Amino acid sequence: MPLIAHAWIVAPLLLVAGALIGATGIGGVLVVPLLTTLGGVPAPQAIAASSLAFLLPALVALGPLRQRPELARRCVPLLAGALVGAVVGALVVRWLPVQVLLAGVTALVLLAGWRGLRPASAGVHGGAPTLGTGALAALGGAVGAGSALTGTGGPVLLLPLLMLLRQPLVFAVAAAQAVQLPVAVSASTVHALAGRLDWRLALTCGLLLMAGSLLGQRAARRLPIAQLQRGVAVLLLATGGWFALLILK
């Protein structure tokens, strides 16, 4: 991997992060910490590279959507909203306190993980009213703006929200993976215009994440839905704990 230290450690860990993205929609939150703490990449360049790198696993996520036209149709307004929201978030990020936003994200992620582990949380499989086009677009806009403001990539915000809204897990995971695409396009464009984007680093990270995502998708297809639900809930709790540590630093 170009331009970073300890590439022999960072590369396999990026594969693991990609596998988590492919299996559950969450995992991209690990990329920036890996690049900064182990790779020695300055935070602005790490954030910029990860933003563009998420494009490739997002393209992988479009594969299952092509096979499920009904899921793809439901995702369209959500992704359109995320594209607009990410632009807005990228434009106003300099004026808002990131710590406050991160605290809100942490509370949301921990709450969703807690609910996902409760026996009564089978509503994640469905049973709640289906979100309409307007609601999906508004949700996408909020997720896109929040992702651009916090640098979390998209899935770590969208998946907890869809779980809390008791949407089917299959749709929640597919939408969380696909939302990376509009968020990555908007965020990486802003970073490129600002001169922070290392194209070689971003492409290398993206290829590793894409390879891991393919493996994660294949593994997830073999897991029972209840087991996948518990895995997503545990991962949400771990991610919330990670964010809490970042806030306390």
Give the chain's domain count: 1
Taken in order 174, 180, 181, 182, is the CA torsion positive or negative?
positive
Single-letter amino acid, residue 246? L
Lowest mean pLDDT among 8-17, 72-81, 132-141, 222-231: 222-231
Give me 200's structure tokens. Answer: 């070689």
Burial of 189 (0-12, 13-18, 19+ CB in 10 A): middle
Nearest to 61 by CA among 176, 148, 172: 176
- Work out the widest C-alpha separation in the chain, in whole angstroms: 49
CB half-sphere exposure, 186, CA atoms < 13 A: 28
- What pLDDT, on a 0 to 100 scale, did the predictor assign at position 120? 47
Asked whether residue 156 is domain-assigned, the answer is yes
Asked whether residue 181 is domain-assigned, the answer is yes
Asked whether residue 2 is domain-assigned, the answer is no
Asked whether residue 237 is domain-assigned, the answer is yes
- What pLDDT, on a 0 to 100 scale, did the predictor assign at position 6? 75
User: pLDDT tens digits, residue range 106-160?
Assistant: 887 788 788 777 754 444 455 567 889 999 999 999 999 888 777 677 888 898 8
> Torsions phi, psi of 224, nearest 5?
-60, 150
Report how far residue 112's alpha carbon sits from residue 145's, in angstroms, rounded to the nearest whole number. Answer: 20
pLDDT over 80 (residue 245)? yes
- What pLDDT, on a 0 to 100 scale, did the predictor assign at position 87? 84
Asked whether residue 1 is domain-assigned, the answer is no
- What pLDDT, on a 0 to 100 scale, did the predictor assign at position 126? 52
Asked whether residue 35 is domain-assigned, the answer is yes
Q: Over the range 34-71, which residues count as b (16 or more CB within 10 Å of their CB) and which as e?
A: bbbeebebeeebbbbbbbbbbbbbbbbbeebbeeeeeb
Lowest mean pLDDT among 25-29, 39-43, 49-53, 80-84: 25-29
User: pLDDT tens digits, residue range 176-221?
Assistant: 888 989 988 888 888 888 888 899 999 999 999 999 989 988 888 8
- What pLDDT, on a 0 to 100 scale, did the predictor assign at position 123? 45
Report how far residue 112's alpha carbon sits from residue 164's, in angstroms, rounded to the nearest whole number. Answer: 6
User: pLDDT tens digits, residue range 52-105?
Assistant: 898 888 887 777 778 888 888 889 999 999 999 988 887 776 677 767 767 877
**Radius of gyration in angstroms for the set of CA atoms belonging to the chain, rounded to a whole number:** 17
Single-letter amino acid, residue 174? A
| Residue 31 belongs to domain spanning | 7-248
- What pLDDT, on a 0 to 100 scale, did the predictor assign at position 82? 94
Report how far residue 34's alpha carbon sits from residue 11's, in angstroms, rounded to the nearest whole number. Answer: 9
Altogether, the residues listed in the chain come to a count of 249
**Cα 207 off chain centre by:** 16
Report how far residue 220's alpha carbon sits from residue 60's, in angstroms, rounded to the nearest whole number. Answer: 14
Residues 6+ apart with CB under 8 A from 66: 72
More confident: 78 or 166: 78
Output the average pLDDT for the chain.
Answer: 82
- What pLDDT, on a 0 to 100 scale, did the predictor assign at position 200? 92
Asked whether residue 222 is domain-assigned, the answer is yes
DSSP state of 96: S
Residues 6+ apart with CB under 8 A from 4: 10, 35, 39, 40, 41, 201
CB half-sphere exposure, 231, CA atoms < 13 A: 20
Cβ pair 26, 175 in contact under 8 A: no
